[in-house]
Copies of this chain bind each other. A is one copy, B any other.
Amino acid sequence: MVTPKVTFGAVFAGLKPHMAALDDFLRLQVEAFEPEIRSMADYCIDTSGKRIRPALVFLSGWSDGDVPAGEIVKAAAVVELVHLATLVHDDIMDGADLRRNRATAARKFGPTAAVLLGDALFSHALHLAAQFPTTEVCHMVSESTRKVCAGEIVQTMRRGSMHVTREDYWRIIDLKTAELFRVSCFLGARLSGAAPAYVSDVARFGRHLGIAYQIYDDLADFFGDEQRIGKTLGTDFASGKSTLPLQILMERLPESDRLALVEEICGRQPGQMRLRMEQMAEYEVFASVAASVHDEIAQAERALHPWPEEAPTALLSQLCEVLRTQVGALNSAGG
């Protein structure tokens, strides 16, 4: 099934000058690294990603569409560098060889160098955060980074376990994904001088959008188009991650099937992806997971209800629309 190529980037053509400013800024950052590791840092500061977090900074700090202020670009760079650092470390742990169709840092430089390179990227993100007039950005970003790591640790510890509750799942994605979305929105609004009440609501928007985005991503791992999402389907299942689609399937399967699925999640039996996909279709898992995405999107939108006149509101609402479209573009028939 050919799905329309709806991406954050395509919808937000208005962000082009912002993203160009971000690219220029990030490229300059390579010079900040010690000469011996510059080419490695350059490799990791990849400009081909979706850049959702920087987009959130720009959109939340939107004023009149002009070229963004230097501080906003710097904040966007900080959140992107934190995200890139987590990807470098994630790829080591997942043993991933490819990301966005090129060798991961772990593959290219070896896992040892990749651990340290991720650390260096984290450090530089915090170094940039320390260049703001007050300690607030450092404060927010360092706390946020710790939460992202905590979320990843919890996820790691629960791998291969069938005792992951809905509550656990929400907690994990709140920490590992929604937290940095939240801070991105917070920083954009805050640095543009918005009123505290608005900053707080935009941050809440970011958090719910982040949860929605992660559930969508977990859904895409079963129902996506491999070519379009650029990775092999079923990797979460194969690695024992009990994401929402699997949790819902588990709840709906008859006892015997459920026990067999538990064996597969625990890694005691090989995962039967085709069978599980057929069962997901049979038990209408897609619709339930999609409903959760839509529910979180609705909560995100509600956070902005009190602010219909603010410039970012319309733009952030468009982001919600993009995500809805992306969910709709998944292959609900499965496989």
Contact = CB atoms under 8 A, between A and B. Distances in A.
A116 B33 contact: no
A170 to B, nearest CB: 13
A113 to B, nearest CB: 5
A294 interface: no
B115 A89 contact: yes
Contact of A126 (B117, B138, B175): B138
A270 B4 CA distance: 59
A96 interface: no
B130 A149 contact: no
Contacts of A150: 33-34, 36-37, 120
Contacts of A145: 119, 122-123, 126
A227 interface: no
Contacts of A146: 32-34, 120, 123-124, 127
Given A115-B93, A120-B146, A127 B156 contact: no
Contact of A135 (B113, B115, B130): B130
Interface string A81-116: 000011001001100000000000000001111011
A134 B294 CA distance: 42
Contacts of A134: 135
A221 B111 CA distance: 25
A40 interface: yes
A142 interface: yes
Contacts of A127: 138-139, 142-143, 146
Contact of A113 (B110, B126, B153, B175): B153
Interface of A: 32-34, 36-37, 40, 85-86, 89, 92-93, 110-113, 115-120, 122-124, 126-127, 129-135, 138-139, 142-143, 145-147, 149-150, 152-154, 156-157, 175
18 contacts: A34-B154, A36-B154, A85-B119, A93-B111, A93-B112, A113-B156, A115-B118, A116-B153, A120-B146, A122-B123, A122-B145, A123-B145, A123-B146, A124-B146, A127-B146, A130-B130, A131-B139, A133-B135
